[in-house]
Structure 1
Amino acid sequence: MKHTCTLLLMLTSLFSFSQEFNKEIKMENGQTFMVGKINLDGLSTAPYAQWFQKGMEDYAVDQSLVDLFKKDLKAYHIQLFLGTWCGDSRRETPRIIKILEAAEFPMDQLEIVALDRRKEQYKKSPTDEEKGLNIIKVPTLIFFRDGKEVNRIVESPLESLEEDMAQIILNKPYTPHYAY
């Protein structure tokens, strides 16, 4: 009986601390968007798959640049803040994912957070993952090493995603758009 109670307590704690992925908000006008932590499964379902899959298919990765940082990239944790409602996010997110896949980046080290578009919650997530990170534009791709932010790409790359990522990972001077 004691073990059963302990097991039930552990399971209850696990479920209360686990977060729902791919949470959708439906606006009065019928538009939907995701908020909070999302994953590639969420981006691969309607209506998001339409732009996500097309973006993946249409983008040609510069593998020679990826090869420059591929090995070192695995030492990073990456957070991607986006808006599934945002044109820049819809353009850049599939490209980012395709580059990470080409680099054989461990996807369990990628956290994707979709931000809200409603006026009262604008660019916030339900569980505040963006808090203290100065997210002013989406998408924002933040590179962390040993728990500290190294650098970020904000809204769009300066040169190309591959070139900008190489600059960051290889510790070259890099100042993103909208540097704070």
Structure 2
Amino acid sequence: MMRFNTLLVLFLLSLNSFAQQTYLTEDKVTHYCGPVTEAELRNGAFAEWFTDEDPDFTLPDTAPAWASNLNDTRVEVFLGTWCRDSKTWVTRFLNYWEAAGLDTDQLSFVALYNGDEKYKQGPAAEEKGRNIHRVPTFIFSREGEEFARIVEHPVTDLETDLAQIALGHPVRPAYAGANAMWELLDSQPIDSIYAHGNKHVNDIYRLVSHSTELNTLGYVLLRAGELNKASVVFHFNTFLFRYDPNTHDSYGEVLALAGKTEAAIKSYEKVLAFKPEDENALAQLAVLRGKLEKIEE
């Protein structure tokens, strides 16, 4: 009997090891994290994603001619079950993929955390090295080499973007400025980036659409422990959107974390120049000025 009980415990533990990982957000809502299967998405805690009507999206009646070009393609989907865009575009993508006659075994899904500590990270750092700053992100690859991606949402529409990918002419994904910024950080040392700062700022300026584009990237890097890279991103954003108080607030935050107290104070003072009653800037300045006084004593 004892041997049977031991085997039963081991069996139950093995089942648990394959169970979908979840976590609680600050508002006590359970969300997925880590690898998740299609079946878990369709039939698990977020099954309503696939049962809600979507009047703004229609599926093809027959498989498009170009779909067979994707038969040898793998697609990694990074998503957040807390994310409205993931709810919209992961369901549309999966339903369209099936309607196009493609095999869902070609797809893999990874759910990422929300929140400050592990912002857009996986429990086993599944996103590491994949340049994920928006969800959902769909990464298309052949023989392990990425050749296209869709970031957060299609640029034209899902059918057109997929057709262009299948035909070998992928459109530049959304958030081109953030993508270019990350590629720059991956390809050059920070000293070199600053040495040619004017050129890089001008290059990014042509691609970036809004201050939140780089701001989101900066926080993704910051929560991943990439303090120096995050600092570059926030710094660039203050040049691109110099009259936006939030860009100076974010840069002040990373400067304070780096121990650059005087520079952080100047950054928060710029916030107040544009938004005199900003409560966060006022609070941070009080803390930073107190630190500076103790250093000078």
Give the TM bin, normalised by the shorter chain: 0.7 to 0.9
- Give the one of 27, 30, 37 matched to 2:28: 30
Partner residue, 1:85 = 82
- 2:92 pairs with 1:95: yes
Aligned in 2, Cα 1:57/1:121: closer, same or farther, shift over 3 Å?
A: same
- 2:154 pairs with 1:164: no
Residues 83 and 117 in structure 1, CA contact (< 8 A), matched pair in contact too = yes
Partner residue, 1:73 = 70
Cα distance in structure 2, aligned partners of 1:22 and 1:160: 31
Aligned in 2, Cα 1:56/1:42: closer, same or farther, shift over 3 Å?
A: farther
Q: Secondary structure at the match of 2:154?
A: coil
Could you say which structure has the higher strand fraction? 1
Residues 21 and 38 in structure 1, CA contact (< 8 A), matched pair in contact too = no
Residues 53 and 94 in structure 1, CA contact (< 8 A), matched pair in contact too = no
Could you say which structure has the higher helix fraction? 2
Within-5 A mapping of 1:119-158: 119-158=116-155
Residues 81 and 115 in structure 1, CA contact (< 8 A), matched pair in contact too = yes
- 2:52 pairs with 1:54: yes
Cα distance in structure 1, aligned partners of 2:73 and 2:53: 24
Within-5 A mapping of 1:7-46: 20=18, 22-45=20-43
Return the offset for 1:82: 0.5
Q: RMSD over aligned Cα, in angstroms?
A: 2.6
Cα distance in structure 1, aligned partners of 2:77 and 2:125: 14
Cα distance in structure 1, aligned partners of 2:53 and 2:111: 18
Q: TM-score, normalised by structure 2?
A: 0.51
Whichever residue aligns with residue 98 of structure 2, its letter is E
Partner residue, 1:175 = 172
Aligned in 2, Cα 1:57/1:44: closer, same or farther, shift over 3 Å?
A: farther
Partner residue, 1:10 = none
Higher Rg of the two aligned structures: 2
Cα distance in structure 1, aligned partners of 2:36 and 2:55: 21
Residues 83 and 138 in structure 1, CA contact (< 8 A), matched pair in contact too = yes
Q: TM-score, normalised by structure 1?
A: 0.81
Q: Which has the higher contact order (CA 8 A, sep 6+)?
A: 1
After TM superposition, the structure 1 stretch with the greater mean CA deviation from structure 2, 114-123 or 37-46, is 37-46
Whichever residue aligns with residue 75 of structure 1, its letter is D
Residues 89 and 138 in structure 1, CA contact (< 8 A), matched pair in contact too = yes
Whichever residue aligns with residue 129 of structure 1, its letter is E
Return the offset for 1:21: 5.3
Whichever residue aligns with residue 102 of structure 1, its letter is A
* Consecutive unaligned residues in structure 2, runs of 5 or more: 1-13, 180-297
Q: Secondary structure at the match of 2:159?
A: helix
Residues 67 and 166 in structure 2, CA contact (< 8 A), matched pair in contact too = no
Cα distance in structure 2, aligned partners of 1:132 and 1:55: 36
Cα distance in structure 2, aligned partners of 1:174 and 1:45: 33
Return the offset for 1:31: 0.5
After TM superposition, the structure 1 stretch with the greater mean CA deviation from structure 2, 108-117 or 24-33, is 24-33
Residues 68 and 166 in structure 1, CA contact (< 8 A), matched pair in contact too = no
Residues 20 and 37 in structure 1, CA contact (< 8 A), matched pair in contact too = no
Aligned in 2, Cα 1:110/1:47: closer, same or farther, shift over 3 Å?
A: same
Query: Percent identity over the alignment?
Result: 38
